[in-house]
Structure 1
Amino acid sequence: MPLVEYSDSESSGSSGAEGNGTKKQCQQGVKRKRTPSPGSSLPPLPDTFHDLYASTSRISNQDDPSLHGGRQRVTPHIEGNWPTHIYIEWYPSTENTKRLDDLLANMREDSSLEALQVHSLLKSDLGAELPLHISLSRPIALRAEQRRPFTDSLINAVSKSSICPFEVAVAGLDWVANYEQTRWFLVMRLEKAPRDSLNQLLRISNETVQVFGQPPLYADSQIRPQVHDTRQQKKRSIGRSQTTSVSASQEYPAHVAALNHMDASDSFHISVGWVLTAPSEALVEKLNQTRHDLQLVKIDVHTVKLKIGNGITAVSLASKIDSSNKIIEK
């Protein structure tokens, strides 16, 4: 019996209904049958296959940084809360993985100290390839009874939107810190997405999390700049908050109108590596001088993913993009 049974011409079974209006708006080009990759007689694995093994086994029930390369938990675990994240997943091609591996190897040449070692996000400790992602929410926490309503709310919002699958390009490289300044990430910054699609998905995510008492992503500096002092405003951040409790709605009351006009195009990114302390001047200078062809990297976006605990829900957009960048009906 095969490990996974599915038809070569069928969808991989992502959650979320498609509205007829949205489907018509996204329908362009000619429908093409999916074909297996060159040199293979087998059809590609469905997207949902990767979701079955998305989580690693828990080594300890305590926060032990020594088990995680020195990383410390930013959001403390509270019994009964479920860690939650909304994101876009991207598996780099073999060619793109090599580009990024070479980039990280180049960065490691100038980081002899353990705290400055650039850790890769491309592969696990056992060498297995890992997916990268574009965040659409902060790491938040839901109560057990909120999981199903939250999932339904996100599915409905994405399904009713007019957002079609799209392709976004890499704009360049940068070092950015998380909100708590506990880790610095080597990231690929992204170009503004066609039809403002990333901002549209972010607005849907932010509105959804706020209904459930959670803080929005990338909103602090644009909606509530008075909260941070001048020095904090000047620090680069990737938008994580010190407050992710279920009572966070008290911190973020009724900013939906402002969120609808927020442009976070300069904030979207894909992290490829990290260090525990601020990058040295040598690392920053090396990145500025690094020649790369990452502008050739394109990310196809056709699914939004929601992870609650170890469970993953894939919310499909209305259609898919083929290799010629034409939108086609599923």
Structure 2
Amino acid sequence: MKRAFSSSSLVEYSSSEDEDDTEKSVKRKKLPTLSASLVVAAPVDNPSLHQGRKRNTPHVDGQWAAHVFISLGLNRKSPLFSLLSEAIKSAKDDVPTLNDFWSKDGDTAPELHVSLSRPIYLRAYQREDLKRAVKSLALTHPRFTISFSTFSELTNDERTRAFLTIEVGAGHHQLSQLSTALAPTLQSFRQKDYYAEPRFHASIAWALLDETSPSESHTQFLTVPGIPSRSIDKLNKKYQSGLSESMNFYDADTLCVKIGKDVFSWHLKGP
């Protein structure tokens, strides 16, 4: 038997339905669009702004590029700076596209960086952990002496750039100890250790390498297949003895980590 409803109950039901519709309408109302000034744009990889250099790892929001290195100050009036400047000028006879690291910043004191890690990619919450680890290394490892023994060519892992480098002579053992001590921290971040047989060095100039894929070629920047071995041989024949002279020994006393654009440094333990 059908159930009868009073008119009053029908009115109450209709009123309740209207309230539900009104509530849904409020919930579905869109929030206002953020002002363009408040939206942070993702970095654009534009090689034309960086002498043809390309980002080797795509940008990821919340990810920070970092690396650890020993910093050696290089006085522009020092014998080593003069020697390196002459060597770069000589190398440009064979590789005119070489770019040094100092000429654009004439008012800035040049530095030599001896890397202790590959490029590291951190999440935001890992930045402080890396800084603490590097600081701990500095507090527990004594300062030491570094010299350079030979010119060489090295390339990055992606083979997009060739580097003219000076390889470490004295100090190699201590650099290896620092790199080994850093490895557990890198492993905890799921990052690669430094190379199994590291060639500790400081880069002094670079050139773009030929691309393996024509579709990815640098259309407006000259590239090279590499720095010719004859050029490296010429540099070592002319400058190697001066490179390794006692006046070009340096105190390695500053350990650094660069995270994004910020550099943090600590002095190694004193004698």
Shorter-chain TM-score above 0.5: yes
Measure the CA separation in 2 of the matches of 1:182 and 1:190: 23
More helix by share: 2
The answer to whether the 8 A contact 1:150-1:212 is kept is no
Would the alpha carbon gap of residues 304 and 64 (structure 1) be closer, same or farther in structure 2, given more than 3 Å must change? same
In 2, Cα distance between equivalents of 1:109 and 1:283 = 9
- Cα distance 1:143–1:99, how it changes in 2: closer, same or farther (>3 A)? same
Query: 1:26 — aligned with what?
Result: none
**Which blocks of at least 5 consecutive residues in structure 2 are unaligned?**
1-41, 210-225
Paired letter, 2:146:
V
Instruction: Name whichever of 120-129 and 150-159 sits farther off.
Output: 120-129
Match of 2:238 among 290, 293, 299: 290
CA contact (8 A) 1:158 1:317 kept: yes
Within a 5 Å distance, the mapping from 1:128-143 to structure 2 comes to: 128-143=108-123
Confirm or deny that 1:270 pairs with 2:202: yes
Distance 2:71 2:236 in 1: 27
Say whether residues 1:64 and 2:46 are aligned partners: yes
Residue 203 of structure 1: how far off its partner (Å): 1.0
Aligned equivalents of 1:138, 1:156: Cα separation in 2: 19
Give yes or no for the alignment of 1:104 onto 2:88: yes
Note the 1:1-330 alignment, pairs <5 A.
61-93=43-75, 94-95=77-78, 96-112=80-96, 117-124=97-104, 128-159=108-139, 161=140, 163-193=141-171, 196-219=173-196, 264=198, 267-277=199-209, 278-280=226-228, 282-292=230-240, 293-296=242-245, 297-319=248-270, 327=271
1:128–1:152 CA distance, 2 compared to 1 (3 A) = closer
Task: Give the fraction of aligned pairs with identical amino acids, expressed as a percent.
Answer: 30
| C-alpha distance in 1 between matches for 2:231 and 2:145 | 30
Q: Which has the higher contact order (CA 8 A, sep 6+)?
A: 1
Q: TM-score, normalised by structure 2?
A: 0.70
Separation (CA, whole Å) in 1 of partners of 2:236 and 2:135: 41
Which residue matches 2:18?
A: none
Shift of 1:189: 0.6
**Secondary structure in 1 matching 2:53:** coil
TM-fit CA distance, 1:192: 4.2
1:179-223 CA-to-partner distances (Å, cap 9, x unmatched) read 1211111111111427x311111112222211222111113xx6x
| Backbone CA RMSD of aligned residues | 2.2
Task: Give 1:88 shift.
Answer: 0.7
Contact 1:122 1:132 in 2 (8 A): no
Work out whether residues 92 and 131 of structure 1, in 8 Å CA contact, stay in contact via their aligned partners in 2.
yes
Change (3 A) 1:123 1:199: same
> Secondary structure, in 3 states, of the residue corresponding to 2:45?
coil
Q: 2:142 & 2:171 partners in 1: Cα distance?
A: 11
Partners of 1:88 and 1:135 within 8 A in 2: yes
The alpha carbon displacement at 1:125 in A equals 5.6
Which residue is 2:13 aligned to?
Answer: none
Give the secondary-structure state (helix, strand or coil) at the position aligned to 1:78. Answer: coil
* Distance change >3 Å, CA 289–CA 154, structure 1 → 2: closer
Q: Which residue in 1 is equivalent to 2:215?
A: none
* Residues 107-156 of structure 1: per-residue CA shift (max 9 Å, x gap): 112334xxxx1110133366644322000111111111111122223323
CA separation of 1:105/1:157 partners in 2, compared to 1, >3 Å: closer, same or farther? Answer: closer
Q: CA shift at 1:285, angstroms?
A: 4.5
Equivalenced residue count is 209
Alpha-carbon distance in structure 2 between the residues aligned to 1:130 and 1:270 = 12
Equivalent position amino acid for 2:244 in 1:
Q
Unaligned runs of 5+ in 1: 1-59, 223-263, 320-326
User: Residue 145 of structure 2 aligns to which amino acid in structure 1?
Assistant: E
Q: 1:152 to 1:125 in 2, by over 3 A?
A: closer
> Deviation digits for residues 69-88 of structure 1, max 9, x if unmatched?
11111122211101111111
CA spacing shift, 1:123–1:90, aligned 2, 3 Å: farther
CA distance 1:76–1:127, shift in 2 (3 Å) = farther
Structure label with greater radius of gyration: 2
Question: What's the TM-score, normalizing by structure 1?
Answer: 0.58
